[in-house]
Amino acid sequence: MLLRLMIILGLIALVLFAALIYYLRFLVPLRPKETGFEYVSVESQGVVRELDHEEYEDLKQGLMLHPADGNSPYTKSRYLELTTDKQMKGYIRRRSVPRKIRIISYKEWMNIIDEKLKYGI
């Protein structure tokens, strides 16, 4: 009887521990609430940037689609998550980006792209 009780309590503790790990890993925001759209873009190099107006509208419409729909945008649940072609790019909730990662403006991103094109990088 005592053995059964200990097994049941052990299983309950294991389930509670797994639920705690899930909660901490997927549900706790990694950064404080910030202004701006709920989602940001992660580029192939790991740079996180704000969306431009067109991306914002497309993503807003795409999020209303069923996730299994081929037209829905790829949204990441974690910053380090890779796409099927092993790249970091994709959309992610702003609060799922680690605090140490800076979110740059779209204008700043375009300046970086212009510099790369200018110097052929």
Q: Is the pLDDT at 67 greater than 70, yes or no?
A: no
Q: What residue ranges do the domains of the chain occupy?
A: 1-30, 32-119
Q: Is the pLDDT at 118 greater than 90, yes or no?
A: no
114 confidence band (pLDDT: 50, 70, 90): confident
Range from 2-6, 11-15, 74-78, 81-85 that averages highest in pLDDT? 11-15
pLDDT (tens digit, 9 = 90+) per residue, 21-61?
A: 888 777 778 888 888 888 999 998 889 999 998 988 888 88
Tell me the backbone φ, ψ of residue 22, rounded to 5 degrees. Answer: -60, -45
Q: Which residues contact 43 (CB under 8 A, 6 or more apart)?
A: 49, 88, 89, 109
More confident residue, 66 or 80: 80
Count the alpha carbons within 13 Å of 43 in the hemisphere toward its beta carbon. 16
Tokens representing 13?
């503790």
Query: How far is residue 120's CA from residue 114's CA, in Å, rounded to a whole number?
Result: 10
Q: Is the pLDDT at 3 greater than 70, yes or no?
A: yes
Cβ pair 50, 34 in contact under 8 A? no
Report the predicted TM-score, pTM, of the whole model to 2 decimal places: 0.71
